Structures are given as C-alpha cells and as structure tokens.
Amino acid sequence: RMAMMGLELTGKAPFDVVYLHGLVRAADGSKMSKTKGNVIDPLDTVATYGADSLRYSLVTGVTPGQDIPLNMEKLEANRNFANKLWNACKFVTDNALKGADEAELADLGVRGPMSKEEYDSLSLPERYIVSKCHELAASVTS
C-alpha cells in the first residue's frame, strides 16, 4: 500500500530496496504473543545482555526471510562472545600498543591502496587477511 500510494501521490517510488525478513519467534518456535506471555522485552534484554548481543543474535544463524527463534541461551552466548572480542581488543591495545608513540600509531593506519612491493613484503597470514578484506569490499560494493 505504501509503495502504491507513494507512486500515486508523488509519481516516484518511496524506496528503492525492500527487505523481507521473518518473524522473531519464541525459543520453542511459537509466535510471540502478549496473551501467551512469551514476549521478550527488547529494553530488558538490552539492559541484561547488551545491544550488541541482541543485534548479533538476530542476524546470525538464520537464512534471510526465515523466522528467527530467539532464546536467552543464545543471547547469553552472544554476550559472552562479544565480551571475548572486547577483551582481545583491550589486550592488544593495553599490551602490544602500550609503548607506541604517535608516529608508530599513524603508521598502522591505511592511507591508500597497497603497492605490489608492500603486499609482497607481508607475511602469509597478513596477506591472507588483506585478501579477505579485498574480497569483502568487492562483494559489498558490487
């Protein structure tokens, strides 16, 4: 209805892309309902597990268009995963980058495309990471 009214009243489509997604369902697969009492309040969930945990739980492990079963165990596991990522980043910044001065930190930044010589000088794991970043950028921008 929104698209048809937009076309009728303005002569142009109100949006270019339409995303179809499934329902967020209870852990047992039933539809969430206030009358059944199986609704998960997102504000309480964010207060308990964090927004990152909720977001990650909603986008992982499901095929686009299919319903999403949401349970507290999944939220807790994803909160723990986000906490591990945070701790790993904190470890790197507190230890590996602890004595780095401004010039060393500036050298870590990407300022443009990498030359063939720079790429060839990287170790195999670093080249792998760079190649995966290029694949990701190509898939997102194509």
pLDDT digits (tens, 9 = 90+) for 16-73: 887 777 888 888 888 888 888 888 888 999 999 999 999 999 888 778 778 888 889 9
DSSP notation for the chain:
-HHHHHHHHHSS-S-S-------EE-TTSPBP-TTTT-PPPHHHHHHHH-HHHHHHHHHSS--TTS-EE--HHHHHHHHHHHHHHHHHHHHIIIIITTT--HHHHHHHS--SPPPHHHHHTS-HHHHHHHHHHHHHHHHHH-
Residue 110 has pLDDT above 80, yes or no: no
pTM: 0.61
Q: What is the pLDDT of residue 49?
A: 94
